[in-house]
Amino acid sequence: MTLADTANLHTFVEAVRFIGDNPHLLLTKAFELLELAAAALGVALAIALPVGVVLGHLHRGSAVAEGASIVGRALPSLVLIAAFLTILGIGFVNNMVALAVLASGPILTNSFDGIDRVDPDAVDAARGMGMTGSQILWDVELPLALPQLFAGIRVAAVTVVATAPIAAIAGGGGLGDIIVNQASYRLSGVIGASLLVMLLSVGVYLALVGLQAAVTPAGVRRTRVGGDPQGKELV
């Protein structure tokens, strides 16, 4: 083994030791991160989901949905966080708004696309049975579009959790605080926190895949869970 190899290995040993030595700090920071992510996801869901669902139901505004997916992908998270910081100041609200904007893209695109592309025969049959527009939306379109709605939420959730550490650059708190502050926590702390952030996002991803499988109606389950969401986004 060369010297460089042992040094690399040593850094990771140190990182794991850092995690073991600071359980309280890391738990607090991880909780802060999840709090921020949950708030942002909540805001995004409250705004983007109804808009996407209604537009999809009316089969209108595909330009809006496509635009949201293109612009959502083109907006770098760092730019968004920095720009909101100049408007809203350092802190929770700024980061929450920036993350909510990021999360809105995939939620809007997928909810629109999912509802818009429900089999027209199914909708026709429902209308023939005398169902009203809102009944069709609740009892036919939403259940059938559920896998894709959830795929959008999953992408948004992973995006938010993965972007939240970047918010630390703008005083966001959370595990990102440690990642961007090598001066105080040394490389071992930075790597330790990075490893935890990775675990956290993979955990959130897996939890949502599980939740999606659990809430998908049996009749829709033929559609592959996990799906291929629109507007997948990297952070």
Partner 1 sequence: MSWIVGGTVIPNFGTGSKCVTGNHVFCWDWVRQHWGDTLGPALVEHIELTAIAVGIGFALAFALALVTHRYGFVEQPVGAISALLYTIPSIALFQVLVPFTGLSYTTIEIALVAYTLVILYPNIVNGLRSPTPDVLEAARGMGLTQRQILLRVELPLAVPAIVSGLRIAVVSTISIATIAALIGPYGLGSPIYVALREATPFKTEIYSAGVLAVGLALACDAGLRLLRRVLAPWSARRLA
Question: Of 106, 107, 85, 105, whose CA–CA distance to 95 is shortest?
Answer: 85
Question: Of 4, 5, 16, 7, whose CA–CA distance to 194 is shortest?
Answer: 16
Between CA 131 and CA 110 the distance in angstroms is 25
In whole angstroms, the minimum distance from the beta carbon of 125 to partner 1 comes to 26
Between CA 129 and CA 134 the distance in angstroms is 14
The site string for partner 1 over 66-95 (x = CB under 8 A, - otherwise) reads x--xxx-xxxxxxx--xx-xx---------
The site string for partner 1 over 90-129 (x = CB under 8 A, - otherwise) reads -------------------x---x----------------
Q: Is 43 in contact with 106 (CB distance < 8 Å)?
A: no
In whole angstroms, the minimum distance from the beta carbon of 139 to partner 1 comes to 26
Whichever of 73 and 127 has its CB closer to partner 1, that residue is 73
Between CA 192 and CA 121 the distance in angstroms is 53
Can you give the binding site for partner 1, defined by CB under 8 A? 7-8, 11-12, 62, 65-66, 69-71, 73-79, 82-83, 85-86, 109, 113, 158, 161-163, 165-166, 169-170, 176, 179-180, 187, 190-191, 194-195, 197-198, 201-202, 204-205, 230-235
